[in-house]
Amino acid sequence: MQFLTLVFLFLVHIVSGNLDLDALLELKKGFKEEPLRGNYLSSWNINNVESNNGGCPKSWYGIDCEGGHVTSIVLRNLGLVGSFNFLALVGIGMIQNLSISNNQFTGIISPNIGSIGSLRFLDLSANSFHGSIPNSLIKMENLALLNLSSNSFRGTVAVEVGELEQLRYLDLRCNRFYGNIAGVLMQLQKVVYVDLSSNLFSGYLDLGLADASFVSTV
C-alpha cells in the first residue's frame, strides 16, 4: 500500500511539472522580443529542462522553481511585445510571483486570475494593459503586492479590494480609474503603501483615515 502511495505521489509530481511547462510554452506564444534587447526567451525550450528539478524549467530565463513547481516568473525590463495570456497562468498552480513590469504587453486581466490563490506578488506596471480590474481579484487571499501603475486600466476600484487580508502594497497610479477616492482609502485597512495619483478619482480626502504607518500618494 505504501509503495502504491509513493507511485501515486510521484505521478502527481510529474503531471504537475508538465502542466507548468505547457502553461509557460502557451505564454511564450504571445511574446515577441526586440532583437536589439537580446534573445532572452531562447532558453524557453522544451529540450532545455533538467530532470533533477522534477521537470521544472529552472534554467529558463526569469523562472524560479521550488519542489518541482514553477513559483516565480520575472520578466522585467526586457522590451517584450505582445498579448499576455493570463488564462495560461491558471495552469501554474504554485506560482507566487508574477513580475513583468516595463515591457509592451497588451490585453486585459482575465477573470480567471482569481483562481490563482497562491499568487503573492503581481506587478504588471509600465505596460499597455487595459480594461478593468476583475472582481475575481478579491479571491486572491495571499496577494501582498499589487502594482498596476502606468497602464491604461479604467473603471472603479471595487471596495472589496480592502478585504484582501494580506495586501500591504497597492500602486494604481497613472491609469484611468475613477470614483470616490475616500471610499477607496477607507477600505484599505491593512495596506501600508498606496499610490492612486494621476487617475480620475474625485471627492474629499480625509488624511485622518490613515494610521501612523500608512503612506499614501494621491
Give per-residue pLDDT as tens, 13-45: 444 447 899 999 999 999 988 766 778 899 999
pTM of the model: 0.86
Distance separating alpha carbons of residues 46 and 58, to the nearest angstrom: 12
- CATH assignment, 2-217: 3.80.10.10
The pLDDT tens digits of the residues spanning 46-85 come to 888 876 667 789 999 999 999 889 999 999 999 999 999 9
Distance separating alpha carbons of residues 144 and 190, to the nearest angstrom: 10
Judge whether 178 and 202 are in contact, CB under 8 Å. Answer: yes
Q: Are strands 31-32 and 81-83 parallel, antiparallel or unpaired?
A: antiparallel
Judge whether 158 and 134 are in contact, CB under 8 Å. Answer: no
Q: Per the structure block, which three cell numbers stand in for 65? A: 522553481
